Amino acid sequence: MLDKYSRQIEKHFLNPRNQGIIKNSDGEALINESQCGDVMKVYIKIGKRPISENSKSEKYIKNIKVENLSGCFAIVAAASVMTEIVKGKSLKEVLKLIDKNIIDELGGLPLSKMHCASMVVKGIEMAINNYREK
């Protein structure tokens, strides 16, 4: 079944990065996608680092974990790629993430699986919003 999809999808599906949970996370999100029963949870830990000598600092994704509770292979691969993209990036940069970044990184997605890319983008946005609401 997998060989009609890209090698990248296969690689990330077989060995997904940053799986698990973060206890005492700074932000969390639960995302449900009815189309193929994808359910996942995103946990983030936020860090702060200086960006210049004049004492300015920025917030960034210090750690991220994803729990794929159920769903298709594409959501597992998309979530894995998303965690690799956002880890270490500033919140400002992460909020610019779009579906296409995920799709490109996966080497494409079949039409029926496009929702997986939007779902993981929505997931990280919701986790950041959750952090900001605290």
**Interacting residue ranges for Zn ion, rule: CB under 5 A:** 36, 38, 72, 75, 116
Contact 55, 99 (CB under 8 A): no
**Among residues 39 and 97, whose Cβ is nearest to Zn ion?**
39
- C-alpha–C-alpha distance, residues 74 and 130, integer Å: 25
User: Least CB distance from residue 122 to Zn ion, whole Å?
Assistant: 13
DSSP state of 4: G
**Among residues 27 and 123, whose Cβ is nearest to Zn ion?**
123
**Among residues 36 and 95, whose Cβ is nearest to Zn ion?**
36
User: Least CB distance from residue 116 to Zn ion, whole Å?
Assistant: 5
**Among residues 40 and 61, whose Cβ is nearest to Zn ion?**
40
Find the DSSP H helices in the chain.
7-14, 73-86, 91-94, 99-105, 114-133
User: Least CB distance from residue 99 to Zn ion, whole Å?
Assistant: 13
User: In the sheet that 57-70 helps form, which strands lie side by side, from edge to edge?
Assistant: 27-33, 38-50, 57-70
Structure tokens at 31: 């995302």
Map residue 109 onto helix, strand or coil.
Answer: coil
User: Least CB distance from residue 100 to Zn ion, whole Å?
Assistant: 17
